[in-house]
């Protein structure tokens, strides 16, 4: 995935079954952000892989004061990349059926 300067990782083991999963996001490289960034730490949240949209979560983070509005796209993309990877891994580990 592209280096956005924003890191998103699983905050729990993925059992491959539940749709809602805990993710953790933090800024690795503040220079990649457009807006002024106040280092607040790692942000943990739950994300529903089936129902939710990464960009909506990014918007909620902006509204909660974690990021400047100009960085909503980069945060959304960072979450989307990680979510895509989780889904891709899940697809590859689906048990074979008759």
Partner 1 sequence: SSTTQVVHSAGRRFIVSPVPESRLREQ
Residues at the interface with partner 1 (CB under 8 A): 7, 26, 28-29, 40-46, 57, 60-61, 63-66
CB of 75 to partner 1, least distance (A): 12
Neighbours of 4 (CB within 10 A): 21
CB of 79 to partner 1, least distance (A): 12
Neighbours of 72 (CB within 10 A): 19
CB of 35 to partner 1, least distance (A): 18
| Surface-to-core class of residue 37, CB atoms within 10 Å of its CB (0-12 exposed, 13-18 middle, 19+ buried) | middle
In this complex, which beta carbon is closest to partner 1, that of residue 16 or of residue 44? 44
């Amino acid at each position: 995935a592209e280096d956005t300067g924003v890191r998103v990782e699983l905050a729990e083991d993925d059992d491959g079954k539940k749709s809602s999963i805990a993710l953790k996001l933090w800024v690795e490289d503040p220079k990649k952000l457009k807006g002024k960034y106040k280092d607040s730490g790692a942000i943990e949240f739950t994300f529903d892989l089936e129902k939710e949209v990464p960009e909506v979560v990014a918007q909620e983070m902006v509204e909660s004061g974690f990021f400047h509005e100009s960085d909503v796209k980069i945060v959304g993309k960072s979450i989307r990349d990680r979510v895509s990877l989780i889904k891709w891994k899940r697809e590859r580990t689906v048990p074979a059926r008759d």
